[in-house]
Structure 1
């Protein structure tokens, strides 16, 4: 029936069956037959036929106005369905740590928004173990974080290294340790802000810790040490501003932290180093969007020395 209505619209526009048939790529007899069939279905005469062509009857005029509305609604529905299909086909589900969001991931997301204005975007910002859990459960398709030492073997997960980063130890501007070059023993006397999700909650993701990880924990997170744990960067900054706590964090955030009155200590040796990269499912290798994001990450990192802490 709807097909007949579309043909009727062309006949009513042209007021000539032969011309409408050419537009519709139909033969004139076929279109004439279809219009007669439409009149029979509706039980109303739609056309006055004469040697010069056709004109619409009053019933034909009513149908023409309603049919145009139906056509517009149909085309609008098709457009919405296509947008909905595109929205889900190109949906971006990405995770990252606070530092990497600030330093380069947000620029990639903005580019994605500009290119795909009708696509859904899901962004999870958090701890690397929390994000790994989301990746394994398919709640995100890619995340940027540091290489997880002692990560359990997941054959369907791949890590793509992007760059190396080292950590500074950040404190408020009038912190007592700013007057000296600090050793590990110096900072061990002060509370630490631990920015991340509960380690116990995601302990199943990590195998028995290797020597490097155990040594790191023994040096910096002693059992008797006071820990302020939060998963919010702004909360961590508030804690630093109002206490003698320290926060180990990537060097690239130095300029950002200065705006909050938070500065790095002078350390005798590097506090810690990590390889930063992108985790994604192995089958994500075939995902053009994931590959495009990886290439975009590499380009932004190459052109932004601040990410690695270089100015």
Structure 2
């Protein structure tokens, strides 16, 4: 089965990368290219291009390896695969033939999209997306608040009394708050709309800077809240979101190209329901 082939490929690579990295004989400095031959197996060439293409598809954990280890491991894998594939003298089974056709189709289709994107100027599209998404929005308020969290309303009222009598808010939070922010004086830092539970957020919005709330109940307990400061959230600049917007613009161009080329293609499908969808699971049909 094909899954066994994929497993074997991964196993070969793992074994290759775990083997000692042999020094390459590079006594003379040469100009390398994708066609540079790095090994031959029974007269069949393995080129630097084959190695680069193989390296580009490796999982992330292999990409972190040193160049020497990666080079040795990939070369050994390609040599092993070449030796194995050359030993195959039978007719390729349908699963391999169809897989190769699918892989070629996918790679060529991807190349078409890359060429379309390379020939398309998306700078105006990126600017338009920025204007649409950020140009007319109003900066939202952000709040910096501290709180003292206790279990009961009675305890919260006692905290209020202490604060009214001149107790320091941060010191009281460190002494009495049961929340994780207690050791830090109850400081919650900056947050925007939706970051806190509704009851807490409503209480914060109703406060003036420096003002302390009456006890507020939420699912976590009872809070005594102080609003430290209010500011307007920064609206991202075009440069800050350029990468994200370029991705959106490229997706739009690619989707339009796919739609156009699909519409232009002559597509014929047999009428009715010639194939039972359940047959997709019949791997045995590829034997």
Scaled by the length of structure 1, the TM-score of the pair is 0.20
Scaled by the length of structure 2, the TM-score of the pair is 0.21
Identify, as 1 or 2, the structure richer in strand.
Answer: 1
